[in-house]
Structure 1
Amino acid sequence: MDVVRGGPADVPAIMRMLDDAQDWLAARGRTGQWGTDHWSGVPAAVDRFTSLATSGTVWLAMIDGAAAGVIITSTTSPDYVPPAPEPEHYVSLLVAARAFTGAGVGATLLAHARAEARAAGVGLLRVDCYDGDDHRLVAYYEKQGFTPVATFSAKNGTWPGRLLALRV
């Protein structure tokens, strides 16, 4: 697996990964995280991910020439979580293509984000995620070394979230 720099031109691939992940979640009855309407069909969502890919740093995991996953990091957190008390790298998006489930794509991209933060002299990596249903996403980030630091609600209180942090 190689990790390569991406950018706004990769938004179509990112949207496909998000739609596939959404289908996978919905097939398992886990619609609380992202609902059932494909992100790619919602212009505001496409605009949001295009903005993230334009303002943040995009890294793609590539396996045999195919985009296996993406991570987008930023030096600022979204306004729905408390600001960091120090410089940070914030994981704005992490998603793996369903075709590469179990290949360690997410772990590889998170390790890359940690290395990028260290190289920039930044000691804090934070991420937020859905904290509803079975809490599997929170458990995943804890397995990757993150520690829960706060809970929050988004989308007018209908979306339970968890903020996690990792010292790098």
Structure 2
Amino acid sequence: MSIIIREGGPADIPVILGMLDSCVEWLVGQGRTGQWGTKPLSESPRTVESVTRSVNEGSVFIAEVDGVPAATLTLADSPGPTLSHLPPPGEPERYIHWLASDRRVQGHGAGSALLAHAAEVTRRAGISLLRVDCYAGDDGKLVGYYESNGFVRTETYEGTDGWPGQVLARRV
């Protein structure tokens, strides 16, 4: 098994949406619907718009396992409008958007490889702060995943309809 990380772009939007849909299907199968609900995210105009904006404004990376797209994330210069209520970090940062692993190709470390790649890209850009936010409800496994990849909890927040969120940061 080999993991190759490549740059992505607008042509990858259907692949990214497919990964997000596989995550929703996996979460629903576990009875964990608090994060993204029960319907495919590709059917949500708001999500499609958000993914498209992230891809067009940020740097997209796709991890492929043996040539098959397995995970994705986008790096941007800020958390974007949905987290505008958070205090700015007071220094340049890179912010991770839309990290998702295709659950049909899980267990190969593609997500962790992308997080390590994002840290390296951030460091090479002369920036020492990498941040991400995520769903902090249910069993907290997602927050734990980021912590296992070198991130530490910073701000907690409540999103729309009481959605529990956690911002995490990593120094690179």
- TM-score normalised according to structure 2 size: 0.94
* Residue segments in structure 1 that go unaligned for 5+ positions in a row: none
Instruction: Tell me the amino acid that sits aligned with residue 127 of structure 1.
Output: V
Fraction of identical pairs, as percent: 44
Q: Partners of 1:100 and 1:44 in 2: how far apart?
A: 26
Q: 1:1-150 to 2 correspondence within 5 Å?
A: 1-79=3-81, 80=83, 81-150=86-155
C-alpha distance after superposition, 1:60-110 (max 9, x if no partner)? 001222111101010111242332211001001211111221100111000
- How many angstroms does 1:57 deviate by? 0.5
The alignment status of 1:159 with 2:163, answered yes or no, reads yes
- The question of whether the paired residues in 1 share the 8 Å contact of 2:71 and 2:99 is answered with yes
For 1:107, what is the secondary structure of its paired residue?
helix
In the TM superposition, structure 1's runs of 4+ consecutive aligned residues that sit over 4 Å from their partners are: none
Decide whether the 8 Å contact of 1:131 with 1:161 is kept in 2.
yes
Measure, in 1, the Cα distance between the counterparts of 2:121 and 2:87. 22
Query: Shift of residue 124 of structure 1?
Result: 0.4
Deviation string for 1:113-151 (max 9, x for gaps)?
000001100000000000001000000111111000110
Give the drift of 1:162.
Answer: 0.3
In 1, Cα distance between equivalents of 2:67 and 2:102:
13
Letter in 2 for 1:70: T
- 1:77/1:83 contact within 8 Å kept: no
Distance across 1 between alignment mates of 2:49 and 2:167: 24
CA distance, structure 1, for counterparts of residue 59 and residue 87 of structure 2 = 21
Instruction: Determine helix, strand or coil for the equivalent of 2:150.
Output: coil
Which residue identity is paired with 1:167?
A: R
Which secondary structure does the structure 1 equivalent of 2:62 belong to?
strand
Unaligned runs of 5+ in 2: none
How many residues matched? 167
